[in-house]
Structure 1
Amino acid sequence: MSDEGEMTGGEDRPLDWANEPHMSSVDTIMWRGDTDRRMRGTICMLEIYDCSPDWDRLVAAHEWGSRMAPRFRQRVVDSPLGAGTPSWAVDPDFDLHYHLRRIKLGGDGSMRELLVTCEQLAMTALDAARPPWEGTLIEGLPDGKAAYFLKAHHALTDGLGAIIGLAQLHSPTREHNPGKPQPPSPDPVNIGPLDLIGRQIGDEIGRIPHRVDLALKGVRALTNPRKALSSALRYGRSVPRVAGLVSPPGSPLLAHRSLSWRFSAFEVPFTDLKAAATAVNASINDIYLAGLIGGFRIYHEKMGSPVDTIPVAIPISVRRPEDPAGGNRIAVGRLAGPVGIADPFERVLTIREQVRLARHEPAVDIFNTLGSVMAWLPGTMLMQFSGAASQNDLQASNVPGIPWDTYVAGAKVERMFPFGPLPGCAMMATMITHNGTACLGINSDGAAVTDLELFAECLIAGFGEVLALAADDGVEPGVLRRVE
């Protein structure tokens, strides 16, 4: 959070971000995921600063930011029944001293030492009785640099929502701006169990007209039985694919799962990704996925365990312009990652077609559609379903970043590396483009990817294959670089 924000004046009121008083059904499913420690939904962001920010300014920035975005002062209030959608309420005991920490990096101060520290911070559970986030300033990096590690629960927001929020809370200048809005501290809210249950019942009553309308549409559809049957069959066939109940078998090499997270970070100029995408008439996301899967191919070959496909999941944003910022507005796309395809051009085209089909699955939004029902399932039952449907070898996300220079308490943000959770998968890869540099954060299960150094080499080689496609247009190919 910055002591400036993107704004230079205006009304003293909070941002229009993450201001819904209740969780959505998808948020609820993510929150209940903590019932199983292997499904813990902690999302993280590591920012690298060109210098150590002023501590007093940083503290003031968080105090200001928590007034601009009151969600950072809100805790989750769940039903005593452990079912239905929880509410958000301003914590009457909000204590910034708990949420904001300051440490000095030990060891040799290297990027590897920094990532090890961040792994340990990330694997520590968030306190469910407090607002679900923690921020840590990490000093002691070489050349006077510093880092900031923010972790939060995925129920708070998805990746795009997080960037929308950070873009407004970071500053476009190094200097302090005394003219920024100053909204008052939000009033504490106490929600009793009966209040919450009453709200949940009211929500369900409010959904009755929508469900009746769906039923009437179904009845009217029967006037054309052939068309209705065809649509029902298409949707029915789509559900198992979207839910992950029908997917390629996982790689035996990556079969083990644990509670151990391992971080690694890479970067590549965005222009290099764009050049490769332009050369083969593909999207940046296609190139990104092809580079990742190419890394998996080379890793399997070097480990003497080649496979043809691996199960891959990608988030598909269903966020509309009229949707409120914050929260989760995502669906899930399933791919059969073509690990067996050595030709990078063919691999990109195969992925492009699979992504196109995944985006147009009839049941692509099933978790948002059925979420209001699933939210009433007990956490243990919900996690049994989620665990059976989430054994992916790779989950990959690509989120647009902030395309301008940003500052925090006088320090310039040089890089932003995102790290997603491991909801039953062997690896979570997340890419954010920060001011012209594509920053890739890899979170691997320590029991699944047993040789992380070798995998890093393979990933660089896999991206090298697809980035070399730019040479077809006479462009010098780029190189993925490990940050260490």
Structure 2
Amino acid sequence: MDRVRPRDLAFLTDESPETPRHNATIEIFEGADSDGGGLDYQRLVSLIQDRIAFVPRYRQRVQPVPGRLANPVWVDDENFDLGFHVRRSALPRPGTSAQLLELVSRIVSRPLDRTRPLWEIYFVEGLQGGRVAILSKTHQALVDGVHTVDLGQLLLDASATPRELEADDWAPRQSPAPAKLVADALQETLTQPEAVLDTARGTSLALRRTAEERTRRARAFLGAVTGRRPKGGGVMSGPLSQQRRVVTVDTKLADYRKIRDTHGGTINDVILATIAGGLRAWLMTRAESLGGMRQVRAVVPVSVIDEELEATSLGSQIAAHFVDLPVGEPSPIVRLHQVSYSFQAHKDTGRSVAANRLAGIAGFAPTTFHAIGSRVAAEELRRGYHLSITNVPGPQAPLFAAGARMVASFPVPPLVAGHPLVIGVTSYDGGVYYGITADRDWVPDADLLGICLREALDELLDSSSSGRQRAPRGRRRTKKPADGAES
């Protein structure tokens, strides 16, 4: 019987109707073919049934301890129903991207059911071209990268022929009675001093998060009454409603390579410079213009090798890196150079992990990295930032689910209190896919930000058309990895 760790308990405690704490991913697949092959709902259910044994926590729920004598425990769900967690939906044919995103926005706005395992997957049919979408939702308390990776990492194969695995003969263990939970908590108190510390940490975090949430709600109420927005962040900071808006942008990796080859730096630098340019253009379209904002402070979780941080099963640790995106700078090349310089300092520490190493991890690891990255960003709230950006490199070869090829993958990261905008980026099979999550009320023009991101990338491409090699100051040009992976 495993107890919920204090860090994981904090994500459960921090959840509210305005801040559901789950990560989500939209994956687009080729649909079933005329011969009956490919991906359909029943094949997806069978695939999950086949792979879920590798993530036992996906069949467990959180069981509180009476009187809060100890942290809650993970227990097997005796009434586990795969059909409840894997749901079927459809768009009116031919479904457009806008219709899909409207459906996704409504689904990710709803918190997960705390009485069941903390995840859901939606199989969405009816997309244009006969394609289908898989939308997954997983609570931040579930995926820590240590004991549990994201289920999405296990569902994809490197070929159209699925891996054959041994049959799963799982049977749930009986849930402990309340009396046993109390007895175990008292016994741990007497025999395991570290358990007492964990309980104290969990209770302390719960009380602190509750107090912080009350303060945020009071400020939001005062803002609504007075009509005043929080100082300093403009549209980048504000109270959250219970509704979300999801925007996606798909771009080509070749464009980022061209910019990198012309101006130096890394693919990551170019992506962040694109975001900086998109934010600049978007902010300038708003009534408040830039409002004196010259920089947007962003937290960008990065993979590092650091024994002082919690180890993950992915071969590295995840740490927060802060970068000031120069939205006040009119030159796209200068913006790129400034971002590149910031990450050169990170690289010089010797802790950074090469992108091609991350992309080579078995399965589709970006789903797990995004989950861990969003946890890191949430834990850095006290240090202050405007925007969280998770950028994860994925494999540059096609992956398959039940024989169907995945053609795109968009991250849908969660919002945290006071931050009505967040951006996730995944590169996969020649594409770079942006997922923007925004509060529906505070950021009603999030779709315009998506347009601005495309224009910012075009602006950088135009600057690279001459083909002149101009490396940023302090940044040496690096050779392109032989295997085509990005750095």
TM-score (norm 2): 0.70
CA, structure 1 residues 93+249, in 2 after alignment: closer, same or farther (shift >3 Å)?
A: same
Change (3 A) 1:310 1:196: farther
The alpha carbon displacement at 1:469 in A equals: 4.7
Q: CA deviation at 1:270?
A: 1.9
CA drift of 1:102 comes to: 0.7
The structure-2 alpha-carbon separation of the partners of 1:158 and 1:340, relative to structure 1 and needing over 3 Å to count, comes to farther
Distance 1:284 1:462, change over 3 A: same
Q: How does 1:148-159 map to 2 (within 5 A)?
A: 148-157=134-143
For residue 389 of structure 1, give the secondary structure of its aligned residue in structure 2: helix
> Partner amino acid for 1:31?
L
1:337-387 deviation line (CA, Å, top 9, x unaligned): 3211122222223223444667999xxxxxxxxxxxxxxxxxxxxxxx979
Task: Give the secondary structure class of the aligned counterpart of 1:62.
Answer: helix
1:39 aligns with 2:19: yes
Aligned to 2:404: 411
Q: How does 1:363-382 map to 2 (within 5 A)?
A: none
Map 1:40-59; keep pairs closer than 5 Å: 40-52=20-32, 53-59=39-45
Alignment root-mean-square deviation, CA = 3.7
> SS of 1:38's equivalent?
coil
Distance 1:309 1:320, change over 3 A: closer
1:203 deviation in Å?
10
- The aligned counterpart of 1:325 is 313
Q: What SS does structure 1 have at the residue aligned with 2:14? A: helix
Which residue of structure 1 aligns with residue 477 of structure 2? none
Instruction: Note closer, same or farther for the CA distance 1:453–1:166 as it changes in structure 2 (3 Å cut).
Output: closer
Report the counterpart of residue 322 of structure 2 in structure 1: 334
Q: Secondary structure at the match of 1:404?
A: coil
Cα gap change, 1:114 to 1:163, in 2 (>3 Å): farther
Matches within 5 A, 1:85-104: 85-104=71-90
CA distance in 2, matches of 1:317, 1:399: 9
- In 1, are the aligned partners of 2:30 and 2:406 still within 8 Å (CA)? yes
What is aligned with 2:233? Answer: 251
Query: What is the rounded CA distance, in whole Å, between the counterparts of 1:281 and 1:203 in structure 2?
Result: 58
1:267 maps to which of 233, 238, 250: 250
Quote the offset at 1:149 in angstroms. Answer: 0.8
Unaligned runs of 5+ in 2: 33-38, 198-229, 350-377, 470-487
Q: Which amino acid aligns with 2:432?
A: A
Q: Which amino acid aligns with 1:395?
A: S
Q: State the Cα deviation string for residues 162-219 of structure 1 (Å, max 9, x = none).
A: 9875343322333455x4233431542524532663587489724899xxxxxxxxxx
Identity %: 24
Aligned pairs (5 A) from 1:165-184: 166-175=152-161, 177=163, 179-184=164-169
Q: Is the 8 A contact 2:248 2:450 kept in 1?
A: no
Q: 1:404 to 1:166 in 2, by over 3 A?
A: farther
Following TM superposition, by how much is the alpha carbon of 1:452 offset from its aligned partner in structure 2, in angstroms? 2.8
Aligned to 1:298: 281
8 Å contact from structure 1 (residues 276, 466) kept in 2: yes
Partner-residue secondary structure (3-state), 2:92: coil
CA distance in 1, matches of 2:314, 2:66: 26
User: Are the aligned partners of 2:189 and 2:196 in contact in 1 as well (CA < 8 Å)?
Assistant: no
Return 438-447 or 322-331, whichever deviates more. 322-331
Q: Secondary structure of 1:106's match? A: strand
Instruction: Give the letter for the 1:427 counterpart.
Output: L
SS in 2 for 1:180: coil
8 Å CA contact 2:88–2:122 kept in 1: the answer is yes
User: Partners in 1 of 2:274 and 2:149 — Cα distance?
Assistant: 24
Is 2:53 the counterpart of 1:72? Answer: no
Cα distance, 1:414 vs. partner? 1.0
Q: How many residues align?
A: 393
Aligned ranges 1:80-479 → 2 under 5 Å: 80=66, 85-106=71-92, 109-157=95-143, 166-175=152-161, 177=163, 179-185=164-170, 187-188=172-173, 190-191=175-176, 192=178, 193-194=181-182, 197=185, 201=189, 205-206=193-194, 250-257=232-239, 258-304=241-287, 305-306=289-290, 307-317=293-303, 323-325=311-313, 330-355=318-343, 389=382, 392-424=385-417, 425-471=419-465, 473=467
Amino acid in structure 2 at the alignment position of 1:51 = G
> 1:296 is aligned with what amino acid?
L
For residue 92 of structure 1, give the secondary structure of its aligned residue in structure 2.
Answer: coil
Give distance in 2, aligned partners of 1:162 and 1:404.
Answer: 25
**In structure 2, how many angstroms separate the alpha carbons of the residues matched to 1:327 and 1:76?**
28
Other-structure match for 1:380: none
Q: For the residues of structure 1 that align with 2:341 and 2:22, how far apart are their CA atoms? A: 31
Find the counterpart in structure 1 of residue 361 from structure 2: none
Offset of 1:462 from its aligned partner? 2.0
Distance across 2 between alignment mates of 1:467 and 1:356: 22
For residues 315 and 137 of structure 2, what CA distance do their matches in structure 1 show?
15
Shift in CA distance, 83/396, structure 1 to aligned 2, threshold 3 Å: farther
Indicate conservation of the 8 Å contact 1:24/1:327, yes or no.
no
* Cα separation, partners in 2 of 1:195 and 1:473, compared to 1, 3 Å: farther
